[in-house]
Structure 1
Amino acid sequence: MTNAPGSARDAFERARPFALTLLFGAAAFTITVSGTKTIAEIIGPVFLALVITISLHPIRLWLERTRLPNWATSLVMLVVAYLLIILLTLALIVAVAQVAALLPQYTDQLDDAVVSAGNALRQLGVEPDQIHAVVDAIDPGQIAALATSLLSGTLGVLTNLVFLITVLFFLVFDTDATRQVLRSLANRFPNPVAALNSFAASTRNYMGVNTVFGLGVAVVDGIALMILGVPGAFVWAVLAFVTSFIPNVGFIIGVIPPALIALLHGGPGLMIAVIVVYTAVNFLSDSMIKPRVVGDTVGLSTTITFLSLVFWTWVIGPLGALLAVPLTLLTRALLVEADPRTWWALPLISGKPDPAEKTESKHAE
């Protein structure tokens, strides 16, 4: 008895190449991720240097229109990149140093807060042994140690800064040669080159928008904290700027420390005021102004953005949280946009229907 063309066996034979491709692709991706995690200390600064170079590329285009020599244009770009990194690093050092000096001042208040929390738990009927376990786990003396570890972490970033500056030097001076190579490859490999150009444009838009709006939010938050009398306003403003690059949960990370300091310094009323100010500023920036000005700058769904944050933080550490969106854009460019056979996945990644299919469905109706 022979099998019919539409039998289950024929369907299996047709699906087998796709299944094998998916299997080998998953294996290759797993190996790549494992290797990336192993050399995260190298990949993180290199990719950060690449993102900085891409983000500052409009300045290079403007300088080229002034007919400066190529070496002079690259030198100016290098100086701008170095100044940007130095200013951000200095701001982080000052902020972490202020945290190290600020937090120990509230050790007594934190002790009182822990005791009050224990009394509240006791009134709710929690067993005394459980209360003591919770209270003992909260050691106010660890706050100073935490601040010291944060300062040490910043000094570790400075150590990597030498490597970052070196990588930036080569990337900036190789930019023109890289553009010429991509132009020469565009005729032979149009889709991969277009995918890389799309990655560069999306990354540039994302970093530019987040920098402008993050800086504006940081300034407003800092001024508001100064008016409210919350200690360390500069520290929390810097934190608000840095966390603006963390998708989805950046606002929550940025508001918790100043809210806790406000609670210890001025009580629940001041803490509520800080939360209200941060929420209002974040809502106006991210929900009202930013979408109207720039719209969707990256083409990633909310779910994909959040999962990318978790994934890249796990792969390359805290720097992965700041670079989660650019890293996901590069992955999308290499694995999806570069091959027409995988373009069907783009609407799933963006969370929006394909405009062409949407138009066709309207005509069909």
Structure 2
Amino acid sequence: MRVLPSERVLSNGSEGTPLPDSAGEQPPLIRRTELVATALVGLLIISIIAVLYFAKAFFLPVVLAFVVGTMLSPVASFLERYRIPRSIAALAVVITVAAGAAFMVALISSTLMEWSTRLPELAARLKDKLHVFDRLLALWQELQTMVGGGTDTQALGMPKVEWVQPTLEFVSPTFTEFLLFFATLVLFIASWRDLRRALIMNFGDHDARLRTLRILNEIEVHLGNYLLTVTIINIGIGIATGIVCALTHMPSPGGLGALAATLNFIPIIGPVAMFVVLLLVGVLSLPTLGSGVMAAVAFTGIAFLEGHFITPTIIGRRLSLNALAVFLMLAFWTWMWGPMGAFLSSPLLIVALIVKEHLVPVNSPQLP
């Protein structure tokens, strides 16, 4: 009798039960080409991140101009319908936005200058109000003495200001970056229509052209709606904060409202920073600690309503973003480009989601 190759013989010499070939059940091995391709993609991503980080002075103004220009292009197109040349419309839009930003900066700067002239008085007030913590500080000194820290009280003095200069360098862009941003913004808005056409016609396939057109249209619409909606909401936040500051007798309610509206453009970090500012200003300027925290507590309620009810209702599900994705993008771009990177985190996330939706479509799962 003929024995098939797939059959095995038991140790006693009799025919055994046919067993499957073990070679066919081996797990699939990772091919060398796939490993090399994955490594090359990882190295490419690392190289791009390194270039964006070390060439921040160039890429930050350019990317910021591209994102803001995409948001403002519909306004220039609207003005162009009334026979206004595209270049003049772009210049008018940029000048209007710059004037609004300068007005907000002027309100905030006047408040900061006023407070800077009152620093000695505010320091004396703060020292008087911190007497309630004298016993706690005495206990802390005793604890330091017990653990061998000595009786040196300089550790409880004013902190060093070595962080001031690095912080200013981190926050403040240079004049060259401002100039590059505004020049790129005007030229981008003025030539956005031609850039769209060139980018679409760069593809030879009809389907690829149509997909690119849809991506660009959706990016322009979504970024424009995002800027308009967020600006209106932040202006409302600023007005509400100014009213609260006026009712609680806080100094310079207009400047604090403008600061709240400006900081609210930065997700997560902005409201937290504004809460700290209101808390410090209230404690320093108002006679009691209870009255000093009222504005900060009221702002917390305003920010909670805005973040959990107002913004999701107005923006809707189409522009709603996952909280974890927003936080990770915020952390990454803040580390990469500072406060301007924090401002760009949500628009860049919107762009990435739109591109992913068109290039890697995912069918919605069907429930059984």
Residue of structure 2 in register with 1:347 after alignment? none
Residue of structure 1 in register with 2:61 after alignment? 45
Uncovered stretches (5+) of structure 2, i.e. residues with no partner = 1-5, 7-20
Q: Distance in 1 between matches of 2:188 and 2:358?
A: 23
Change (3 A) 1:197 1:185: farther
Asked whether 1:256 is paired with 2:303, we answer no
Q: 1:160 aligns with which of 174, 177, 180?
A: 177
Residue of structure 2 in register with 1:107 after alignment? 123
The amino acid across from 2:30 in the alignment is: F
Q: 1:171 aligns with which of 173, 188, 193?
A: 188
Residue of structure 1 in register with 2:309 after alignment? 288
Q: 2:296 aligns with which of 275, 280, 283?
A: 275
Query: How far 1:302 moved relative to its partner?
Result: 0.6
Q: 1:243 aligns with which of 263, 266, 278?
A: 263
Mapping for residues 262-341 of structure 1, pairs under 5 Å: 262-266=282-286, 267-296=288-317, 298-332=319-353, 336-337=356-357, 339-340=359-360
CA contact (8 A) 1:45 1:163 kept: yes
Residue of structure 2 in register with 1:12 after alignment? 30
Identity %: 19
| Further displaced range: 213-222 or 41-50 | 41-50
Q: Distance in 2 between matches of 1:30 and 1:12?
A: 23
Change (3 A) 1:244 1:78: closer
The two structures have a TM-score, normalised by structure 1, of 0.78
The amino acid across from 2:222 in the alignment is: S
The amino acid across from 2:268 in the alignment is: N
Q: Which has the higher helix share?
A: 1
Q: Distance in 1 between matches of 2:359 and 2:45?
A: 16
Q: Distance in 2 between matches of 1:6 and 1:300?
A: 44
Residue of structure 2 in register with 1:350 after alignment? none
CA deviation vs aligned residue, 1:25-82 (integer Å, no higher than 9, x gap) = 2221111111101111222222222232222223123223324343443343343344
Q: How many residues align?
A: 340
| Further displaced range: 74-83 or 251-260 | 74-83
The amino acid across from 2:269 in the alignment is: V
Change (3 A) 1:25 1:205: farther
User: Cα RMSD over matched residues?
Assistant: 3.4
Mapping for residues 22-171 of structure 1, pairs under 5 Å: 22-113=38-129, 116-123=132-139, 127-129=143-145, 132=153, 134-138=155-159, 156=173, 160-171=177-188
Mapping for residues 354-365 of structure 1, pairs under 5 Å: 356-358=363-365, 360-361=366-367, 365=368
The two structures have a TM-score, normalised by structure 2, of 0.78
The amino acid across from 1:172 in the alignment is: I
Uncovered stretches (5+) of structure 1, i.e. residues with no partner = 345-355
Three-state SS of the structure 1 residue aligned to 2:305 is helix
Change (3 A) 1:94 1:51: farther
Three-state SS of the structure 1 residue aligned to 2:179 is helix
CA contact (8 A) 2:76 2:89 kept: yes
Query: How far 1:190 moved relative to its partner?
Result: 4.4
Residue of structure 1 in register with 2:18 after alignment? none
CA contact (8 A) 2:70 2:189 kept: no
The amino acid across from 1:105 in the alignment is: E
